A and B are shown apart, each in its own frame.
Chain A
Amino acid sequence: MATVKNWQIGREMEYPFPESRPERQIAYVFDLNKCIGCQTCTMACKTTWTVGRGQEYMLWNNVETKPYGSYPMGWDVKILDKLGPQPWEGERYAGKTIFEAAPPGERVLGHMPAELDWSHANAGEDEAAGRLDKGGYETMPAHKLWFFYLPRICNHCTYPACLAACPRQAIYKRQEDGIVLVDQGRCRGYRECVKACPYEKVLFNPVLRISQKCIGCYPAVEQGVQPRCVTTCIGKIRLMGFLSKPGEARADSPMDFLIYEKKVALPLYPQLGLEGNVYYIPPVSVPREFLRQMFGPGVDQAIESYLKGKDDPELLGLLHLFGDTKEIIESFKSFPATGEAAGYDKKGREIVRVPVKEPDYLRPFYDAARQVYRHNIT
């Protein structure tokens, strides 16, 4: 075991390999306030990558309804239950990561899903099971009931548990973009990775008898294009970019700005210790206790910054660049004078420019030219 720095838990931790951060790290921000669970991302991924034999059950991208939905069944509660209650001390995680909690002779504390756990993605979610005559179960300031959609892909972790657990070293993290891949020629289907990944994002292909996972759409990323799940999102909740190493943040980098500077986007279950690189803007109407368990102690600050976004031209501008170009935005700029925001590629070429506020148009209720009344005049 080596000692490595994990900024998401505010301390050093044990990991089987020494710290080796890639030259560039792929990262994503998903705004959970905007996800409507339409599954367009899921279908875009499915039709692009997992239409092969033995991949019938596979969803490299899935969207589940929280708090009760999960794919595979109970992936989150099962690993949290195995890990047991663990404390945070402010920004520092004082509990054990899944590497530190590994039993003797294991590299990772893992959980192996049963085959049936994969068999009914979203079954029963968003369906009323019965009538509640005693009123709402949860009491909240603004809503009686709450739920939200959680879209999930591989986190292309800085410290991948799948990579740590593979006894053959058939899993590698690319230096050029930090994407984590399973070498399909070298894999022997031992499934140590399937068991080790707490997010359960490595899946076994029973026909080819090897394990497979989200590849971060690397053929697109290599061409400067964002992954399919990002570009097809009709709710424009996703942005993919590159995250600088801790301490090397650039103010004009979309990922650095959202994650390091404004701290509005948070990792999923940072306490597990993998330093995942999919970051979520937490949903504002969900009980904080639930969100803190899921996204760590930064939840309150993230929601506060997000809600102040309407008065923050830079943040507001960047949030409007989500889903507006298929190209990877390397840097961005906000123009409060004109009410616009723009994104630029690697060479500094402007690739997208959007108005932060749509212009208002007011039309007369009665259209004299057509001799009709309008139902909608704005």
Chain B
Amino acid sequence: MRARRFFFAALVMSLALSAAVVEAQQKSLTARFVTGAVPVDPAWPGWRSAQAAEITLGPQAITPPWNLSPSIKKLTVKAVHNGTWVAFLLKWKDSTKSSVMYTDTFRDAVALMVPLGKSAPIMMGAPKERVLILHWKADWQEDIDKTFQDVTQLYPNAWLDWYPFAPGEPPYDIRSWTNPEAKRYLTGWVLGNPRSQPDKRSSVEEQVAEGFSSLTTNERQSALGKGVYANGEWSVVIARPFAAGNHHDPEWGPGKSMTAAFAAWDGGAGEIGARKSFSDWISVKFNPVRR
């Protein structure tokens, strides 16, 4: 009973915080129509003329583990579309770039969430009220921009003579470990866990959820992204086709309106998973196509 009262108190507190968030923030965002390819680059000059929305993020205090004092409290978001693709530019201040994960460090990240039906609960959806979540990760960006963060990159002075069945020679590169005997020890890679794949194709993971604990990677990955850290600020573009050709497409498109929510993680402050800050639903309007 005590636990239930505690949960109820937590929920009330969280909803109160969410309400405060709604009051303070800009409630709508307009995605401008652009011709040509949608930019997967924060440096694209056209972003300057796109409308900016200041999105306030609040603490996550609904499901444990909570994050009562989040590090990131504000995002600046812009959006454009070209009729078939939509791109979001997300900017936020972060005094430390965290893009490598050692055993005790975490990476920066940002995500946007869109209902797959008319609407969905802000708590990562619910059964039969699924959401699409596009999650950009700084460590995946590092894998793409530099090279896969293998032992050689993480610990340049490390030396190990031998791994069973491993092709090559010290210091080794696991991308060449394609034989099943060597891969036996690379569990996440063999099982298709996107985190463990040495060859990342995108820095954005496309996922669906129907409530807490249910986050699942989409079989088809169509989202693209690029994050750049400069002058104490992250600038991240997340782009996706309106229709990726699967049943995980939101009801969005030119001339339509929908809602989106945003979340951010400061790896330097130990934020990961549920330890995040997030926004309420924001109204997003997609301008019609102009020929």
Q: Are A107 and B193 in contact (CB under 8 A)?
A: no
A residues in contact with B196, CB < 8 Å? 207-210
Nearest-CB distance from B190 to chain A (Å)? 8
B212 interfacial contact with A, CB 8 Å: yes
Do B213 and A115 touch (CB < 8 A)? no
State whether the Cβ of B228 lies closer than 8 Å to any Cβ in chain A: no
Q: How many residues of B contact A (CB 8 A)?
A: 44
Is A208 touching B104 in the complex (CB atoms < 8 A)?
A: no
Q: CB distance A167 to B63 under 8 Å?
A: yes
Q: Are B185 and A105 in contact (CB under 8 A)?
A: no
Which of the listed residues B63, B103, B160 has the most CB atoms from chain A within 10 Å of its own CB? B103
Q: Is B61 an interface position by the 8 A CB rule?
A: yes
What are the residues of chain B within 8 A of A106 when measuring CB–CB?
Answer: 64-66
Q: In the complex, what distance in Å separates the CA atom of A191 from the CA atom of B105?
A: 10
In angstroms, Cα B124 to Cα A167, docked, is 13
As a 0/1 sequence over residues 181 to 197 of chain A, the CB contacts with chain B under 8 angstroms (1 = contact) are 00011111111101000
B150 and A104 form a contact (CB under 8 A): no
User: A168 contacts which of B101, B105, B213 (Cβ < 8 Å)?
Assistant: B213
Q: Using CB atoms, name the residue of chain A closest to B100.
A: A206
In the bound complex, how far is the Cα of B273 from the Cα of A192, in angstroms?
9
Residues from chain B with a CB closer than 8 A to the CB of A212 are 187
Q: Is the CB of B193 within 8 A of A56?
A: no
B8 within 8 A of partner (CB): no
> A52 an interface residue at 8 Å Cβ cutoff?
yes
* Inter-chain residue pair count (beta carbon < 8 A): 117
Known contacts A114-B104, A206-B103; A187 and B188 CB within 8 A of each other:
yes
Residues B188 and A208 in contact, CB atoms below 8 Å apart:
yes
A118 interface neighbour in B103, B163, B177, B212, Cβ under 8 Å: B103
Interface string of A53-70 (1 = CB under 8 A from B): 111110000000000000
| A65 to B139 alpha-carbon distance, docked (Å) | 38
CB contacts under 8 Å to B, within A72-112, are: 104-107, 112
Contacts of B172 in A (CB 8 A): 53
Please state if A167 and B213 are interface contacts (CB–CB under 8 Å): yes
Give residues of chain A (164-215) contacting chain B, Cβ–Cβ below 8 Å. Answer: 165, 167-169, 184-192, 194, 203-210, 212
Rounded to whole Å, the gap between the CB of A100 and the closest CB of chain B is 11
| Chain A residues positioned under 8 Å from B186 (CB to CB) | 52-53, 208
Assembled-state Cα–Cα distance A192/B66 (Å): 12
Out of B139, B151, B273, name the residue touching A190 (CB < 8 Å). B273
| Chain B nearest CB, measured from A48 CB (Å) | 10
* A52, B191: Cβ atoms closer than 8 Å: no
Report the minimal beta-carbon distance from A202 to chain B, rounded to whole angstroms: 11
Contact check: which of A104, A168, A185 meets B215 at CB < 8 Å?
Answer: A168
For residue B46, CB closer than 8 A to chain A, the reply is: no
A345 within 8 A of B: no
Is the CB–CB distance between A105 and B104 below 8 Å? no
Interface string of B196-229 (1 = CB under 8 A from A): 1000000000000000110100000000000000
Q: How far is the CB of A133 from chain B (nearest CB, A)?
A: 41
* Contact A184:B104 (CB < 8 A) given known A52-B163, A56-B151: no
Interface size class of A (residues with CB under 8 A): 35 or more
Q: Which of B147-165 contact A (CB under 8 A)?
A: 149-151, 154, 158, 160, 163-164
Taking the complex as formed, is B195 at the interface, i.e. its CB lies under 8 A from any CB of chain A?
Answer: yes
Instruction: Specify which of A56, A105, A206 is in contact with B61 (CB 8 Å cutoff).
Output: A105
At the interface, yes or no: B232 with Cβ under 8 Å from chain A?
Answer: no
* Alpha-carbon distance A113/B151, docked complex (angstroms): 20
Whole-angstrom distance between the Cβ of A210 and the nearest chain B Cβ? 5
Quick one: CB contact mask for B89-127 with A, threshold 8 Å, 1 for yes? 000000000000111111000000000000000000000
Q: A307 within 8 Å of B by Cβ?
A: no
Known contacts A167-B213, A167-B273; A51/B185 CB under 8 A: yes
A177: min CB distance to chain B, Å: 20
Contact B187 A206 (CB under 8 A): no
Cα–Cα distance between A133 and B192 once the two chains are bound (Å)? 61
Q: Give chain B nearest CB distance to A98 CB in angstroms.
A: 14
- Least Cβ distance of A267 to chain B in Å? 25
From known contacts A14-B3, A53-B172, infer whether A210 and B188 are also in contact, taking CB-CB under 8 Å: yes
The reply to whether B163 and A209 contact each other, CB–CB distance below 8 Å, is no
Tell me, rounded to whole Å, the shortest Cβ–Cβ distance linking A97 to chain B. 14
- Distance between Cα atoms of A210 and B189 in the complex (Å): 10
Judge whether A208 and B272 touch: CB under 8 Å: no
Q: Are B193 and A184 in contact (CB under 8 A)?
A: yes
Q: Does B274 contact A (CB under 8 A)?
A: yes
Please pick, from B64, B177, B191, the residue contacting A184 in the complex, using a CB distance under 8 A.
Answer: B191
Give the docked Cα–Cα distance between A208 and B195 (Å): 7
Closest Cβ–Cβ distance, residue B196 to chain A (whole Å): 4
Please, which residues of chain B bring their CB within 8 A of the CB of A113? 103-104
At the interface, yes or no: B144 with Cβ under 8 Å from chain A?
A: no
Partner of B102 from the list A1, A115, A169, A188 (CB cut-off 8 Å) is A115
Residues of A within 8 A of B215 (CB): 168, 188
Contacts of A191 in B (CB 8 A): 106, 272
Q: Does B34 contact A (CB under 8 A)?
A: no
- Residues in A with CB closer than 8 Å to B188 are 184-185, 187, 205, 208-210
B92 to chain A, nearest CB (A): 21
Q: Show the binding face of B for A, using Cβ within 8 Å.
A: 2-3, 6, 10, 61, 63-66, 68, 101-106, 139, 149-151, 154, 158, 160, 163-164, 172, 174, 177, 185-189, 191-193, 195-196, 212-213, 215, 272-274
The contact sample of 17 A-B pairs, CB cut-off 8 A, is A53-B186, A54-B151, A56-B151, A56-B158, A104-B6, A114-B104, A115-B104, A185-B192, A188-B273, A189-B195, A194-B103, A206-B102, A207-B150, A208-B186, A208-B189, A208-B195, A210-B193
> Top 4 nearest A-B pairs by Cβ distance?
A52-B185, A105-B66, A1-B3, A185-B191
Query: Footprint of B on A, CB under 8 Å?
Result: 1, 14, 51-57, 104-107, 112-115, 118, 165, 167-169, 184-192, 194, 203-210, 212
